[in-house]
Amino acid sequence: MGATNFAELNQQFGIFGQLNVKSGSVALPLIEVENANARARISAYGSHILSFKPHGHEDVLWISQKSDYESGKPIRGGIPICWPWFGSHPTDPQIPIHGFVRRVPWRILSTEKIDEGTTRIEIGLTHAEAMHETWRHRYELKSVITVSEQLDLELITRNIGDEAIVFSEALHTYFNVSEISEIEIEGLAGCAYIEEIDARKTHAIEPGKIRFNSEVDRVYQDTTAECIIIDPGFQRKIRIGKSGSLTTVVWNPWIAKSKRMPDFDDEEYHTMVCVETANAMKNTITLKPGETHSIRTQLSVESIL
Ligand code: BG6
């Protein structure tokens, strides 16, 4: 790929008073949005949303101070897109987890000012731009991001090949919280989950609200439920709506795993939690030739006083 001309890209996609395209991590376009409702930053590397800050609130998303911004490495925080496999590779455990599209450049397709407080961005990737030697299928991916008082992220997968494709996926959202041991997550009571810690797999049913006092790495199956993060320290609730998703993943690495991750500070587990809108394990997707699948999440904030 030749050097990106950011001035030209900004001329093509910039929106006066609302959206700028400039040079970001890995020398790839960074989209900065500021409208009447919120600010957001989105990298074309992985079509990765880095920040979403509704006016008057703390950032909804969390990003590590130790994140790598290097070609071939994932960004730690924000919303990585995991596709076409979530977690371990389906056949080869040596291959890095969470698919390959979070580690490659995507293309800005369009930007649009819907109104003073609403901005829409579309970013795409196809098999012609990124393939993996173990996953050689013809696909089109489009991420549609709408920044308003809420953040709306839709990932659309289209099978443009002539055989069925099988994939799992996640909008792997890292939320910014005041203190992990004081928050609660509501919405998954009664839901079956598999917890994977140190290669042990524990099957259980969620009894009520989730609280954190040790590592949590749970894949909740067959759930369409909205989740709510209740955060007394930030005096807010984050509402996580979703559609086209039957899996929700909840993750906090706690002390030992934080120490094992080089791009994650030892103490950062205090101020983040992942609640991931996904389709994984028994909720893996099969898409016939010509078919389209959409997974979508909507994040919004309410004050609690
Ligand atoms: C979560 C998984 O979705 O992602 C965890 O459930 C994993 O097991 C975490 O550690 C982070 O993965 P990565 O590849 O971004 O370090």
pLDDT digit string, tens, across residues 75-111:
999 999 999 999 999 999 999 999 999 999 999 999 9
Ligand 1 geometric centre to CA of 8 (Å): 36
Among 88, 98, 195, say which to mutate for ligand 1: greatest number of ligand atoms within 8 Å of CB: 98
Residues of the chain above pLDDT 90, percent: 95
Ligand 1 geometric centre to CA of 40 (Å): 24
Residues 138, 291: Cα–Cα separation, whole Å = 12
Predicted pLDDT at 113:
98
Predicted pLDDT at 27:
84
Q: Dihedral angle at the C-alpha atoms of 133, 277, 56, 64, nearest 10 degrees?
A: -40
Over the stretch 172-214, which tens digit does the pLDDT of each residue have? 999 999 999 999 999 999 999 999 987 889 999 999 999 999 9
Report CA torsion sign: 257, 260, 261, 265: positive
Half-sphere exposure of 54 (CA within 13 A, CB side): 18
Among 94, 97, 274, say which to mutate for ligand 1: greatest number of ligand atoms within 8 Å of CB: 97
Task: Look up tokens 């450049």; give the residue.
Answer: 105
C-beta neighbour count of 19 within 10 angstroms: 23
Residue 1: is its pLDDT beyond 70? no
Mean pLDDT of the chain: 97
Ligand 1 geometric centre to CA of 294 (Å): 22
Minimum-distance ligand 1 atom for the alpha carbon of 219: 6
Q: What is the mean pLDDT of residues 256-274?
A: 98
Active site residues: 172, 276
Predicted pLDDT at 305:
81
Predicted pLDDT at 229:
98
Is residue 18 within 8 A of residue 32, CB to CB? The reply is no
Instruction: Give the pocket of ligand 1 (CB within 6 Å).
Output: 74, 97-98, 172, 217, 249, 251, 274, 276
Ligand 1 geometric centre to CA of 55 (Å): 30
Structure tokens at 74: 């994932």
Residue 74: is its pLDDT beyond 90? yes
Over the stretch 122-150, which tens digit does the pLDDT of each residue have? 999 999 999 999 999 999 999 999 999 99
Predicted pLDDT at 181:
98
Over the stretch 211-240, which tens digit does the pLDDT of each residue have? 999 999 999 999 999 999 999 999 999 999
Among 62, 101, 172, say which to mutate for ligand 1: greatest number of ligand atoms within 8 Å of CB: 172
From atom 14 of ligand 1, which residue's Cα is the shortest distance away? 97
Q: What is the mean pLDDT of residues 273-299?
A: 98
- Give the 3-state secondary structure of the chain: CCCCCHHHHHHHHCECCCEEEEECHHHCEEEEEECCCEEEEEECECCEEEEEEECCCCCCECECCCCCCCCCCCCCECECEEECCCCCCCCCCCCCCCECHHHCECEEEEEEEEECCEEEEEEEEECCCCCECCECCCEEEEEEEEECCCEEEEEEEEECCCCCEEECEEECCEEECCCHHHCEEECCCCCEEEEEECCEEEEEECCCCECCCCCEEEEECCCCCCEEEEECCCCEEEEEEEECCCEEEEEECHHHHHHHCCCCCCCHHHHEEEEEEEECHHHCEEECCCCEEEEEEEEEEEECC
From atom 9 of ligand 1, which residue's Cα is the shortest distance away? 251
Predicted pLDDT at 117:
98
Residues of the chain above pLDDT 70, percent: 99
Determine the straight-line distance between the first and last CA of the chain, rounded to whole angstroms.
51
Residues 80, 99: Cα–Cα separation, whole Å = 10
Predicted pLDDT at 2:
60
Ligand 1 geometric centre to CA of 204 (Å): 20
234 burial level (CB within 10 Å; 0-12, 13-18, 19+): buried
